[in-house]
Structure 1
Amino acid sequence: MSEEGKEPSEAKGQGILGKQFQRMRRRLTVTGASSNIDGVVGKGQEVPEPKKSKKKKHQAAVRCAVTEYSGVSKKGHAPYNPRKKNQDALIMADDPGTNSLILAVLDGHGEHGDYVSAWFRDQLITEMFNHPAWVNNLKEAVADAIGKVERDLLRNFRIDTEFSGTTLSMAIVRGNELTGVNIGDSRVIMGKQEGGGSMTPVEITFDHKPDSPKEKERILACGGRVFAVEYDDGIDGPPRVWLGHMDVPGLAMARSLGDVVAHSAGVISEPEFTEYKLNPETDKFLVIATDGLWEFVSNQETIEIVEGQIGPAQAVDTLVTEAGTRWMKEEQVIDDTTVIVANLFGWRSGA
């Protein structure tokens, strides 16, 4: 075992693109499991091809606070990795029977992360809508549906989830009620404007970082460890979750779906719910995004960008482009980035 806080041998960049690989390692969700980069399937392995996400824009078809929304999922860029796949996914679905709109993003990680995120994208909504509590107990229905879809995934021998998983961040708008659902480090925020003042961000969900006191306490109690990797150039990566006796998996979040090895070290898949009564006088729009956006674009910058665009479709394009520009400037790579913007109560920017 490597000394705590030092770089595990598996995380070192070796071969042709060593330094560039090591630089990217700081941003990877999983490190230490193997020399593979997120989104690359090992030679000789075959898994079912997930459906591809495409950009969509919609007028809300249900009677709820959201009047217009758009989302896009864009594959990142890694010059040393021509086989890279988009491991992100998005969900945009509505249920006229309950006047519910569901907007969600998933950020897969690990060798089979794209298949894990696609699995939830393709099955979760059906399980939620078919749950007997969907009408009267939304949180119970969502939690049970997530659990069932994950159990089915873990029984699927064609998708290896030992070191692969996904986040899930979801905004469910039912009438004027907003429910945030979060597992991992994707995020839901809202643009809020009181009086004639400036727009301010409100976090609807909260990232599950391994060094958060509540999360870390649970991980340590389960025998796991939490520490950041110290790289050769002295720059630390994010805090990660490790087994107590081995430097794997190095997961950079405290909650996730899948990730069998990390879950043995205290990572959990329990969703965290937040509830919010939307106010037509102050609440203007929602942004749901993976950390391809949040890594280099702050909450405040995000709402300022949205405020300056004409409509959600333009807003998501601008956010994804800005995130990509910042990734290239900082890291010379671009993470997969998925963004949904939803306008509330007919709000339109003044741009």
Structure 2
Amino acid sequence: MIASLLFGVVLITIPSSYGLSVSCMMEYDDGGAPAVYGYPECPQWVLSPAGSLQNQNLNCQFAILQGRRDYQEDAIACNLDIKVPLLAKDAGKNGFEEEAVGIVAVFDGHGGKECSEMASKLLFDYFYLHVVFQSYKVMAHHNGVLPSSDYKSFQLEILKEALSKTIGDIDLRFSQEAIKNNFYSGSTATVVLLYGRQILVANVGDSKALLLSEKIQSALRTEGDSTAHLSATALTYDHHPDREDERARIEAAGGSVTNWGVPRVSGVLAMSRSIGDVYLKRYGVIAEPEYTGWRPLTTNDTHLVVASDGIFESLTPQDIGNLIFQWNSHFQGIEDSKMPVSCLSSTSLAECIINTAYEKGSHDNLSVIIVPLT
């Protein structure tokens, strides 16, 4: 059955001065977010004990289904209104300004649910912490005075660096738990940041992010493409072990790529980058994300889709574009007959995609998040 999702909420309180002690900064430099959370000199960074249930809404639609697997190992996270303190235009005068940042993420676990669950729980709080520390470092480096023409680029770079460090620290934190508890699990991490009208995509593994855009009318009239009203653009590139650059790194580390149904690292893991999988790190498996750089959204961009690879066992990216168009047309009273039967009983667009992928034969866990952009 389609499951509800607990979303973490950032409840860290930052002093108005945003001052950080020298010892706290040293802990951060030495051990990142895991070290800061456990250090008594940084009481303002202690996590609140509980998350909260965020109801599905028009701006963050999600669905998750166990499908034909024995266990559910996917986890997702979505919050489009995380208030983070970024450097103000005049950092010396105003210090920080509160800005809204959206985060959309899918974690597709394997070998157990421990890794994907931890990643989804830590994502928002780790990201928030890193934004604060990275902003503080940039402010200190420039003595509180940033070039006014470049401060937006500083903000974008801070957000990217915060996301990189967040993913790295989640991998570190889980690896510590995995060694202690003999966990063998790992997870993909496909995370999209939305800030203003720009998006940044970080990818580890083989989950996917798509951007759906309206086509121009002339393209819709071309032969054989009369139903493709939305064009799907992939924003991620799968990290499969047989990808030339991925294979080179694995073999340089002493690993091998062998085929067992699909190409696998040392005959085991069907991806070459992941969070966790601590026992394959020595063979070149890394958690370093690959980025699709900051991309401005246009008026033609209609939906952001982030999904686990189970969706794509039976649907292509363009199939998803077609489903979204058909769903919207159905509720506008247009082309009702073209919407698949699997969607007629669905309560949301996300559930429509999940149900269609399942009915078309996907055997994996299924999860998808859809963010309308208009």
Work out whether the TM-score is over 0.5: yes
Structure 1 residue 99 displacement after superposition: 2.0
- What's 1:180 paired with? 201
- Kindly provide the amino acid, as one letter, of the partner of residue 98 in structure 1: E
8 A contact 2:108–2:116 mirrored in 1: yes
The equivalences for 1:321-336 within 5 A come to 321-327=355-361, 334-336=363-365
- What's 2:36 paired with? none
Please give the per-residue CA displacement for 1:267-321, whole angstroms capped at 9, x wherever unaligned: 1110111124333322111110001101221111111111111489622111101
- What's 2:5 paired with? none
> Which of 1 and 2 has greater Rg?
2
Between the aligned partners of 2:347 and 2:288, the Cα distance in structure 1 is 32
Determine if the alignment matches structure 1 residue 341 to structure 2 residue 363.
Answer: no
One of 240, 249, 252 as aligned partner of 2:264: 240
Structure with bigger helix share is 2
- What's 1:215 paired with? 246
- What's 1:95 paired with? 82
8 A contact 1:53–1:73 mirrored in 2: no
8 A contact 1:194–1:281 mirrored in 2: no
Please give the per-residue CA displacement for 1:161-205, whole angstroms capped at 9, x wherever unaligned: 3x3100011111111110001000000001112433432111111
- What's 2:298 paired with? 280
Number of equivalenced pairs: 261
TM-score by length of structure 1 reads 0.69
- Kindly provide the amino acid, as one letter, of the partner of residue 212 in structure 1: R
- What's 1:200 paired with? 231
Please give the per-residue CA displacement for 1:68-102, whole angstroms capped at 9, x wherever unaligned: 22012211224xxxxx3210000012313322111
The SS at the match of 2:106 is strand
- Kindly provide the amino acid, as one letter, of the partner of residue 182 in structure 2: D
8 A contact 2:170–2:275 mirrored in 1: no
- Kindly provide the amino acid, as one letter, of the partner of residue 280 in structure 1: T
Please give the per-residue CA displacement for 1:131-175, whole angstroms capped at 9, x wherever unaligned: 1226551111111111122212122256433x3100011111111
TM-score by length of structure 2 reads 0.65
Distance of aligned partners of 1:325 and 1:158 in 2 relative to their CA distance in 1, 3 Å threshold: farther
- What's 1:251 paired with? 269
Q: Which runs of 5+ in 1 are unaligned?
A: 1-50, 60-67, 79-83, 230-236, 329-333, 346-351
8 A contact 2:199–2:297 mirrored in 1: no
- CA-atom RMSD in angstroms: 2.4
Between the aligned partners of 1:317 and 1:337, the Cα distance in structure 2 is 10
- What's 1:125 paired with? 124
The equivalences for 1:50-129 within 5 A come to 56-59=55-58, 68-78=59-69, 84-93=70-79, 94-96=81-83, 97-110=98-111, 113-129=112-128
- What's 2:41 paired with? none
Please give the per-residue CA displacement for 1:22-73, whole angstroms capped at 9, x wherever unaligned: xxxxxxxxxxxxxxxxxxxxxxxxxxxxx999894224xxxxxxxx220122
Q: Which runs of 4+ in 1 moved over 6 A?
A: 51-55
Distance of aligned partners of 1:124 and 1:342 in 2 relative to their CA distance in 1, 3 Å threshold: same
- What's 1:33 paired with? none
Between the aligned partners of 1:228 and 1:54, the Cα distance in structure 2 is 42
Highest relative contact order (Cα 8 Å, sep 6+), 1 or 2?
1
Please give the per-residue CA displacement for 1:6-35, whole angstroms capped at 9, x wherever unaligned: xxxxxxxxxxxxxxxxxxxxxxxxxxxxxx
8 A contact 2:262–2:270 mirrored in 1: yes
Moved more, 282-291 or 134-143: 134-143
The SS at the match of 2:292 is strand
